[in-house]
């Protein structure tokens, strides 16, 4: 398998404007199901802000008073919300899969995407028919987690990494995919750090492949924002026509 890029955009017109509006409405109606996704702070500073200061400074996040958790896992309220999220697909025997993407086992943070490779099913208590139809028509060989990420203003999408590079490399080698639908961009955009250079993705891009092991953030959100993350497996993702691989960014 060829090396996967950090980022590659959907081709223009992959999602019609009317369909995007319909899916965005469905996603917005899922907000009451969401739970906080908190970044860990140490001594009132995000554990990622110092490590990835280039990106934090670029987005003016070094002193953001955002809701977070301390190193003991205790909620610390701030003047701005952090991310919140909900899973549209879950694993029947594990209720955590309705809200979480990560768990701790033996003190190690592990992705549920890597733990459960086959058991994910659409939740029956949340209905998103147009979104579900669109995702199922992407011809993904084996669909696993579908997760909505919200920023409900006033909010800050702080700098973070979702998983280890080695874990993503193994996932991609097994045919794993990591897609995003940019359904409600609001007034912020995805920014990420590659080789100490900040890349910011225009808000009009409808979706993309993105490697979440790379430091990324969206900054201060004064408008509502919602993206849909899609995971699963595809035997030939680099030949998938919906993505413009010629516009890819590599590490």
At 1, list the tokens. 């398998």
CA distances from 88 to 22, 31, 152, 224 (A): 17, 12, 19, 19
Per-residue pLDDT of 132-160, as tens digits, reads 999 999 989 999 999 999 999 999 888 88
Is residue 8 very low, low, confident or very high in pLDDT (cuts 50, 70, 90)? very high
Residue 1: inside a domain = no
Residue 136, in any domain of the structure: yes
pLDDT of residue 41: 66
Q: Is residue 67 in some structural domain? A: yes
Confidence of residue 45 (pLDDT cuts 50, 70, 90): low
Residue, of 30 and 158, whose pLDDT is higher: 30
| Residue 171 in domain | yes
- Confidence bin at 54 (pLDDT 50/70/90): confident
Please report, rounded to a whole number, the percentage of residues in the chain having pLDDT higher than 70.
Answer: 90
Q: Which residues pair with residue 197 across a beta bridge?
A: 194
Q: Is the pTM of this model over 0.75?
A: yes
Burial of 135 (0-12, 13-18, 19+ CB in 10 A): buried
Domain-embedded: residue 163? yes
Is residue 194 a part of any domain in this protein? yes
pLDDT above 90: percentage of residues in the chain: 64
Kindly give the residue spans of alpha helices, DSSP state H, lying in the chain.
17-28, 53-58, 112-115, 129-136, 165-173
**109 located within any domain:** yes
Per the structure, the count of domains in the chain is 1
- CATH number, position 192: 2.60.120
Q: Has residue 2 been placed in a domain?
A: no
- Structure tokens belonging to residue 90: 């879950």
Q: Of the given ranges (13-27, 52-66, 94-108, 139-153), which has the lowest mean pLDDT?
A: 52-66
The predicted structure's pLDDT at residue 68? 63
pLDDT band with cut points at 50, 70 and 90 for residue 29 = very high
pLDDT tens figures, 82-122: 899 999 999 999 998 999 888 877 777 788 999 999 899 99
- Find, among 130, 125, 121, 122, the residue nearest to 27 by Cα: 130
121 lies in which domain range?
7-247
């Amino acid at each position: 398998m060829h090396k996967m890029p950090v980022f590659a955009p959907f081709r223009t017109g992959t999602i019609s404007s009317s369909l995007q509006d319909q899916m965005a409405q469905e996603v917005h109606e899922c907000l009451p199901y969401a739970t906080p996704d908190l970044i860990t702070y140490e001594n009132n500073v995000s554990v990622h802000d110092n490590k990835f200061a280039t990106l934090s400074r670029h987005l003016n996040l070094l002193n953001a008073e955002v809701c977070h958790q301390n190193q003991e896992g205790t909620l610390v309220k701030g003047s701005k919300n952090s991310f919140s999220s909900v899973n549209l697909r879950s694993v029947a025997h594990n209720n955590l899969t309705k809200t979480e993407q990560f768990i701790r086992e033996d003190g190690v943070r592990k992705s549920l995407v890597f733990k459960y490779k086959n058991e994910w099913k659409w939740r029956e208590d949340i209905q998103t028919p147009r979104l579900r139809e669109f995702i199922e028509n992407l011809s993904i060989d084996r669909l696993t987690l579908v997760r909505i990420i919200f920023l409900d203003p006033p909010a800050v999408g702080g700098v973070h990494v979702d998983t280890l590079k080695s874990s993503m490399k193994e996932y991609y080698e097994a045919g794993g995919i990591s897609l995003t639908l940019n359904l409600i961009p609001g007034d912020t955009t995805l920014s990420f750090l590659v080789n100490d250079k900040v890349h910011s993705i225009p808000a009009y891009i409808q979706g993309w492949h993105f490697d979440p092991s790379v430091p990324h953030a969206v900054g201060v959100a004064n408008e509502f924002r919602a993206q849909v993350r899609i995971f699963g497996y595809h035997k030939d993702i680099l030949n998938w026509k919906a993505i413009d691989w010629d516009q890819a960014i590599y590490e």
